[in-house]
Amino acid sequence: MTVKTWLESSVVDEATKEELRAVTNEEELEDRFAGLLEFGTGGLRGIIGAGTRRMNIYTVRHATQALADLIISKNIEGAKVVIAHDSRNFSREFAEAAACVLVANGIDVYLFDELRPTPELSFAVTDLGCIAGIDVTASHNPKEYNGYKVYWDDGAQLSPENADVVFAQMKETDMFDEVKTVCMCKAKEHITVLDKEYDERYLAKVLEQRIDAELIKKQSDMCIVYTPFHGAGYRLVPEVLKRAGFKNIVTVPEQMVLDGNFPTVKSPNPENPEGFARAIEIAKEHHADLIIGTDPDADRMGLIVNANGEYKIITGNQIGCLLLDYILRSKKALGILPENACAVKTIVTTELAAKICAKYGASFVNVLTGFKFIGEKMNLFKETGCNTFVFGFEESYGFLAGDYAHDKDSVFASLMISEAAAYYAEQGKTLWDALVALFEEHGTYVEKTVNIQMTGFDALDKMKSLMAELRANPVTELAGLKVLECKDYLNGIDGLPPSNVLYYTLDDGSVLVIRPSGTEPKVKLYVMVSAADKASAEAKAESLGKAFTAITDAAV
């Protein structure tokens, strides 16, 4: 499909045609129409704009038609789909466009009346008995982006097999002539709107995850500063904290405003400390105990804690370990930790989790990168009874307990980290003190992520070439440390499905993992080390990161 096709189509609206006519850069036009946005397990993600490789009404309709074809092929009578969206530009329009295509294909829809957290969508899929869910979001990407996530009937993101079916169908379906749609006025007859009343069901499940409600009452005046970064957590995160018993919640007013341009931050990503600048100012004014931030679709949670007047950033790995330790510790003390308790983490997430699990007699399982794989293990545990899922997390600030949802949940994480803070406050300690204690007991763990950026129209080819080179010429030594083992997940090992990942274990126990990003033109290197103290661990991580990137730079 070409620019000419779009300009001559009666389906394409005039504003879109005007946008295309205004593009004078040939390279940009080529990029806009260089095939389709790839549909993977994370659905679609791309820059908003006109063209087959951009996020717009037509690419959203196209993907939805392919999804509808998959649903129809399952021959499930009365199949329904639930749709949610975040605060990004055009998210509501894209959500309604998807609903109209589904209705045109004979599929009834549940549609949230306004933006909602992604985990509530995951919960709603199973709670409402839907075959699938659609969430219009680009998570924590910059404002220029939007995306389209698809969930299957278990509430987890689409499996690789189903994602491949959808993408194959997209390639076979004409974006204009073979996509069915109706106007919203007609579609409404087959759309059930979910309003604030439905939130009660979701909030009830999140509140069930509390371990010690009485503890929260004792520390109800603990000051918590919260920012949703202009996104979907703006209402439900403060609400769940209040219902749990926390009375002193201070929000960042400028960032409570819903705005897809995210005007107060460079990036609405809770992993980036600079986004918390205003929240830290407010925290200092109120002598707050902790600062919580959630990304635009409210599935990820970032944390900053008060350490004797200094506000310290806690990484995703560290948050996960604090939560894991608190959950296992508290449940064991109360006698409610199952004998077959099991935590699940991704292979790029800190090895400290294994030490924590061992301390409390729990097991842990590694899965591939992506919370959908944690969801798969949750299903397996439930089906076989081999383990009881107690907690799952990934280094990229995603956390979950309970089985009410199958995706990471910042609403839950905000509640549980606040309860953990209350637990330590009862002992005159902070979350920072708790983290230091973990390191004193198990060694100091440091994790570093290095993004190896690829540029140009051949960026994807460069990514493939780098991974091929690393396989053809295996790394045997890094910064004076020998590589004991290199696991190649390309053909599937350790009971995990095939994935383009290389996993290096060094002779001192350090781990390095390299994989291409699924959403951006870069290869991600994860460095995970431990040492007796922070300075030594950080120096080791830096040294290993530089040694490996020297190899990758030469390869590219």
In angstroms, the CA 155 to CA 152 distance is 6
In angstroms, the CA 346 to CA 279 distance is 30
In angstroms, the CA 23 to CA 288 distance is 49
Reply yes or no on whether 139 is catalytic.
yes
Contact 438, 511 (CB under 8 A): no
3-state SS, 411-450, equals: HHHHHHHHHHHHHHHCCCCCHHHHHHHHHHHHCEEEEEEE
Which are the contacts of 473, defined by CB distance < 8 A and separation ≥ 6? 555
In angstroms, the CA 71 to CA 105 distance is 10
**3-state DSSP: the chain helix, strand, coil percent, rounded to 5?**
40, 20, 35
In angstroms, the CA 264 to CA 292 distance is 16
Structure tokens at 86: 């975040």
Biggest alpha carbon–alpha carbon distance for the chain: 70
Helix (H) / strand (E) containing 85: strand 80-85
In angstroms, the CA 266 to CA 395 distance is 22
Q: Which of 139, 410, 418, 499 is catalytic?
A: 139
Contact 496, 365 (CB under 8 A): no
Contact 171, 37 (CB under 8 A): no
Contact 251, 450 (CB under 8 A): no
Exposure string of 388-418, with b = 16+ CB inside 10 Å and e = fewer, is: bbbbbbbbbbbbbbbbbbbbbbbbbbbbbbb
Give catalytic residue positions: 139
